[in-house]
């Protein structure tokens, strides 16, 4: 990875950047590693076991941050989609940020579901139960896999951007349903501990702090991945455009040859 910046026109031999790293992403990457080390120390070491759940409570420090950041990622997708759709410039940069953010959100959500199933087996006694929270979460997960599939349907970059922006704005409306599903229906999944309206958090102080470390660590990881992924998407678009240009040039050259 070289230090070439995407936007700054460095006097390089190629007009395209040779990597997706910048000084900012490297600093961010180091901060992510440090925060993850902190999370391991607090999640597995300093934080206490729970009275009822004992050691299995430590799954919380991955389960909760990953789903919160997945929500954040989908909100970023929606905002970015709106910026593309309603912006005057119709900038494809917004579309790439939307796509990259959704991809990372889906990965984070997969982590939430996997560790959640393990946690469910340990505390509830079952991996899965078709209750309100789990069902709505699964629905949100496949919705965004659908979003990613729509992005790959083909057509021009702007066709892709327009189609997916509409879906990105609609899909985000599912998140409030997932969050309040535990209040709307009777559910095996417990209600919210931290994100509740009465502000009465029933959680041991060190556990809450470990959760906070987890949120910081996964937020940093998200931003780092988002920067790199949206830049590789820019490069992918560039390769596609180049390929099209070359194909057109080849076709024109062919036509020239045929003509006397």
Q: Which of the 8 DSSP states describes residue 173?
A: T
Is residue 174 part of the contact set for another protein (CB under 8 A)? no
Q: Under a CB-based contact definition with an 8 Å cutoff, are residues 97 and 229 in contact?
A: no
Render 111-162 in DSSP notation, one character per residue. HHHHHHHHHHHHHTS-S----HHHHHHHHHHHHHHHHHHHHTS-S-HHHHHH
Q: How many CA atoms are closer than 13 Å to the CA of 8, on its beta-carbon side? A: 8
Select 182 or 233, whichever has its Cβ closest to another protein: 182
User: Would you count residue 124 as binding another protein (CB under 8 A)?
Assistant: yes
Q: Is residue 170 at the binding interface for another protein, with CB under 8 A as the rule?
A: no
CA distance 211 to 42: 9
Burial of 32 (0-12, 13-18, 19+ CB in 10 A): buried
Which of the ranges 24-32, 89-97, 188-196, 214-222 carries the binding residues for another protein, by CB under 8 A? 188-196
Considering only residues 200 to 239 of the shown chain, the ones binding another protein according to CB under 8 A are 202-204, 206-207
Nearer to another protein, 75 or 150 (CB): 150
Using CB under 8 A as the binding rule, whether residue 49 contacts another protein is answered as yes
- Closer to another protein at the Cβ: 58 or 231? 58
| Shortest distance (Å) from residue 143 CB to another protein | 7
Q: How far apart are CA 198 and CA 118, in angstroms?
A: 30
- In the set 31, 33, 138, 175, which binds another protein (CB under 8 A)? 138
When asked if residue 152 is in the footprint of another protein (CB under 8 A), the reply is yes
Size of the site for another protein (CB under 8 A): 43
Q: Is 54 helix (H, G, I), strand (E, B) or coil?
A: strand
Quick check: 5 binds another protein (CB under 8 A)?
no
Is the separation of the CB atoms in 61 and 38 below 8 Å?
no
Residues near another protein (CB under 8 A): 48-54, 56-57, 60, 121-126, 129-132, 135, 138-139, 142-143, 145-146, 149-150, 152-153, 185-186, 188, 190-193, 202-204, 206-207
């Amino acid at each position: 990875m070289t230090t070439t910046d995407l936007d700054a026109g460095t006097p390089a031999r190629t007009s395209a950047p040779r990597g997706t790293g910048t000084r900012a992403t490297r600093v961010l990457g180091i901060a992510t590693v440090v925060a993850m080390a902190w999370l391991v120390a607090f999640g597995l070491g300093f934080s206490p076991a729970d009275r009822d759940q004992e050691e299995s409570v430590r799954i919380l420090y991955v389960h909760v941050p990953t789903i919160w950041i997945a929500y954040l990622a989908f909100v970023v997708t929606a905002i970015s989609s709106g910026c593309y759709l309603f912006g005057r410039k119709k900038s494809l940069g917004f579309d790439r940020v939307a796509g990259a953010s959704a991809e990372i959100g889906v990965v984070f959500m997969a982590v939430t579901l996997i560790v959640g199933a393990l946690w469910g087996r340990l505390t509830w006694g079952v991996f899965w139960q078709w209750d309100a929270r789990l069902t709505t979460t699964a629905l949100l997960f496949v919705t965004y896999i659908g979003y990613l599939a729509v992005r790959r349907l083909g057509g021009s970059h702007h066709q892709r951007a327009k189609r997916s922006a509409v879906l990105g704005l609609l899909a985000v409306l599912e998140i409030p349903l997932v969050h309040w599903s535990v209040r709307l229906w009777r559910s095996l999944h417990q209600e919210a501990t931290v994100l509740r309206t009465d502000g009465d958090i029933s959680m041991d102080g060190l556990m809450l702090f470990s959760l906070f470390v987890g949120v910081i660590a996964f937020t940093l990881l998200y931003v780092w991945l988002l920067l790199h992924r949206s830049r590789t998407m820019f490069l992918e678009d560039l390769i596609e455009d180049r390929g099209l240009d070359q194909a057109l040039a080849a076709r024109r050259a062919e036509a020239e040859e045929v003509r006397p």
